């Protein structure tokens, strides 16, 4: 048995890895998207797409993981969140006028990313990033060699409200002039709310504490609830994607990981859409996983990483 001194050092989730490059990429209209790149690229190139309200810092651990395996990993913050600026006067509001703007950003970003080198390409997308990736592919974005969607936002939990009522309320609030207002409140200092939020995201209190640490130490990247217009756009975009017949013709090999009891996105919607995509493989975790599968307790997280690695070894060579 190896001695403890032979084990690799623990990854510091509250520090940027060495040798990474943090800069800004400009969209067609000049909007700066914060970008991070790490890894040699001997294995291939990977684009990591995060979720609503996320920032690059939350995924440094998996970025380092895949960089250590030879991938050149690129991640960026979506327009209006993380380190990519804000779209309203309230810096804690997650807002977008139209999801099509994010699709345009992704199309342009991915086109430049593909031109940066040769070799296999992979996209790994979480939650809202998974929705935007699949929508962009359905709308004609050039596919990578393999794609992974982790807890993709293919439907939204609106409980206790039925979906039709949630749509109606969002429409009314936007028509009343509240489109840029937060759709709900989030008390930053409430320990009870923090605990409730953690349970919706991950069973791992330490990884959740890492997110809070980054938010507290870099307030310019922190984000709170979405705007009413984001809610309206999300409900409309998820419905439009499910009704898009292009999903039935997607040719990219796709691995989808989901959690049965996900409290944020609809696992039944994920099952329905996965069944339609010709080359999709779906794995659904049980009560052991919440929404942020790649930031779960180690047994779930390591299982997910192993599944993704095996999938990429088979399809991105």
The residue extents of the domains of the chain are 18-315
What pLDDT does 8 receive? 55
**HSE value, Cβ hemisphere, 13 Å, CA-based, for 299:** 7
Specify the pLDDT at position 9.
67
Q: How many CA atoms lie less than 13 Å away from 194 in the CB half-sphere?
A: 14
CA 1 to chain CA mean position, Å: 38
Predicted confidence at residue 248, as pLDDT, reads 98
Among 183, 92, 81, CA closest to 127: 81
pLDDT for 2 equals 42
Cβ distance 277 to 247 under 8 Å? yes
- Residue 217 Cα distances to 68, 207, 211, 281, 298, angstroms: 27, 15, 10, 39, 25
Burial class (CB in 10 A: 0-12, 13-18, 19+), 244: middle
* Partners of residue 26 on adjacent β-strands: 32
pLDDT in tens, the chain (317 residues): 344 444 456 899 999 999 999 999 999 999 999 999 999 999 999 999 999 999 999 999 999 999 999 999 999 999 999 999 999 999 999 999 999 999 999 999 999 999 999 999 999 999 999 999 999 999 999 999 999 999 999 999 888 889 999 999 999 999 999 999 999 987 777 888 899 999 999 999 999 999 999 999 999 999 999 999 999 999 999 999 999 999 999 999 999 999 999 999 999 999 999 999 999 999 999 999 999 999 999 999 999 999 999 999 999 99
What's the confidence (pLDDT) of residue 150? 99
- Please state which architecture CATH assigns to domain 18-315: 3-Layer(aba) Sandwich (3.40)
CA angle 41, 47, 51 (to 5 degrees): 150
Asked if residue 251 lies in contact with residue 278, where contact means CB atoms within 8 angstroms, the answer is: yes
Smallest CA-to-CA distance from 74 within 147, 119, 13, 23 is with 23
Strand order in the sheet with 280-285: 21-26, 32-38, 71-76, 44-49, 121-126, 146-150, 254-259, 280-285
């Amino acid at each position: 048995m190896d001695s403890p001194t032979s084990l690799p050092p623990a990854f510091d989730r509250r520090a940027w890895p060495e040798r990474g490059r943090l800069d800004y990429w400009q969209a067609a209209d000049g909007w700066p998207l914060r970008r991070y790149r790490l890894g040699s690229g001997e294995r291939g190139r990977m684009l990591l797409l995060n979720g609503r309200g996320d920032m690059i810092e939350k995924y440094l651990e998996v970025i380092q993981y895949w960089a250590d395996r030879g991938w050149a990993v690129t991640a960026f913050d979506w327009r209006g969140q993380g380190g990519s600026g804000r779209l309203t006067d309230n810096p804690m509001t997650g807002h977008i006028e139209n999801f099509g703007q994010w699709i345009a950003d992704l199309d342009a970003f991915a086109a430049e990313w593909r031109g940066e080198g040769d070799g296999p390409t992979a996209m790994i997308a979480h939650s809202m990033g998974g929705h935007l990736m699949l929508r962009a592919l359905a709308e004609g974005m050039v596919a990578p060699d393999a794609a992974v969607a982790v807890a993709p936002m293919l439907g939204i939990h609106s409980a206790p409200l039925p979906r039709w009522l949630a749509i109606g309320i969002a429409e009314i609030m936007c028509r009343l002039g509240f489109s840029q207002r937060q759709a709900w409140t989030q008390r930053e200092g409430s320990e009870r709310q923090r605990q409730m939020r953690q349970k919706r995201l991950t069973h791992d209190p330490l990884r959740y504490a890492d997110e809070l640490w980054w938010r507290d130490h870099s307030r310019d990247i922190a984000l709170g609830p979405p705007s009413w217009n984001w809610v309206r756009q999300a409900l409309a975009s998820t419905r439009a994607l499910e009704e898009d017949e292009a999903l039935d013709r997607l040719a990219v090999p796709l691995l989808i990981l989901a959690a049965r009891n996900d409290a944020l996105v609809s696992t039944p919607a994920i099952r329905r859409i996965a069944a339609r995509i010709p080359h999709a493989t779906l794995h659904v975790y049980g009560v052991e996983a919440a929404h942020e599968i790649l930031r779960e307790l180690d047994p779930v997280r390591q299982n997910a990483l192993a599944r993704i690695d095996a999938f990429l070894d088979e399809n991105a060579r």
